[in-house]
Amino acid sequence: MWTSNTMTFWESIVTFMIGFSIVFICLISLALFIIISSKVINLFVKDEVPAQKPVTNAVSTDASGSTVVTSKMVAEKDNQEEVERLAVIISAISEEMREPVERFTIVSITEI
């Protein structure tokens, strides 16, 4: 193709564009293959839909018709918030110490 030891600027640009297009054509074809194969596999494999539990009302009404929130609902909400706060505190300590969570123990937490 080339008769000299060096390439001109335009020959190098054309060579670059050919290589670049080949790489991206391969990447696009690989992505399409993955998408198509995952759809075919999903046709054969049926995911079991978990049975939903019946929803029970934790809110009750008293004799006057006003709603009463049970202590169980409040406790579950407080517990979830507490778990989230502890997770954030643990991750902040881990980041500050630059060590994984398994390498230190938190003895107590005091609010400032």
Res 24: pLDDT: 98
Tokens of 54: 């019946």
Find the angle CA(50)-CA(55)-CA(59) to the nearest 5 degrees. Answer: 155
Res 33: pLDDT: 97
Res 90: pLDDT: 87
Tens digit of pLDDT at every position of the chain (112 positions): 567 788 899 999 999 999 999 999 999 999 999 999 999 998 888 766 666 655 554 455 555 555 555 556 666 777 888 888 888 888 888 888 888 888 888 888 787 7
Ordered by start, the domain boundaries in the chain are: 8-48, 77-111
Question: Rounded to an integer, what distance in angstroms lies between the CA atom of residue 95 and that of residue 97?
Answer: 6
Question: Rounded to an integer, what distance in angstroms lies between the CA atom of residue 41 and that of residue 97?
Answer: 45
Q: What's the predicted TM-score (pTM) here?
A: 0.39
